Amino acid sequence: MAVPLPRDFKQSKMEKYDGSSDPVDHLRSFVDLMRLQATLDAIMCRDKDELLKDFIARFNRATLGIKDLQISAVVTAMMSGTRSRLFKMSLSKNPPNTMHELLNRGEKYVDTEEAYLITKSMIDRSEPESNKRKTWDEPRTSK
């Protein structure tokens, strides 16, 4: 079954080999990206409202079966699949060196997301329905 890609989908890019590094490492990274492409296809079939916690767990399960996976390929795939902008920026600015480091950092962003959702839920329950904005464009009504 063919599934159309989202409009904002960007294929993982890999730098062209320039001869300054180990060619075997470069080739391994390429092979890992190709292996992860199948994983990314499955990851992209996710729920629109999926929590970061669920995404990371599913991503981790999907990558467990891939042998000798390079962390750079894993980080690239994680950045392609996550919907958390803050987590994606963190991975981009300071890429983790190990899978353990990647998952630990993901946990911090999961905790942040959960705290935000709890706070939002409490605010939504305490604010009277008449004061809630119907759309983001309209200002709140004052008492």
Per-residue pLDDT tens over the stretch 30-44: 767 766 665 555 555
| Number of domain units in the chain | 1
Tell me if 46 is assigned to some domain: yes
- The pLDDT tens digits of the residues spanning 43-73 come to 555 556 789 999 999 888 888 877 888 888 8
Tally the C-alpha atoms within 13 A of residue 133's C-alpha that lie toward its C-beta: 6
Residue type, 13: K
Highest mean predicted confidence (pLDDT) among 33-42, 71-80, 96-105 = 96-105
Q: Is 40 left (phi over 0), alpha (psi -120 to 50) or beta?
A: alpha
Tell me if 40 is assigned to some domain: yes
Tell me if 104 is assigned to some domain: yes
Residue 104's pLDDT band (cuts 50, 70, 90): very high
DSSP one-letter code for 131: G
Measured CA to CA, the distance from residue 22 to residue 28 in angstroms comes to 10
Tell me if 139 is assigned to some domain: no
Tell me if 2 is assigned to some domain: no
Tell me if 12 is assigned to some domain: no
With a cut of 50, say whether residue 1 has pLDDT above it.
no
Identify the domain containing residue 36 by its residue range. 23-125
Mean pLDDT, the chain, rounded, equals 78
Tell me if 93 is assigned to some domain: yes
Tell me if 143 is assigned to some domain: no
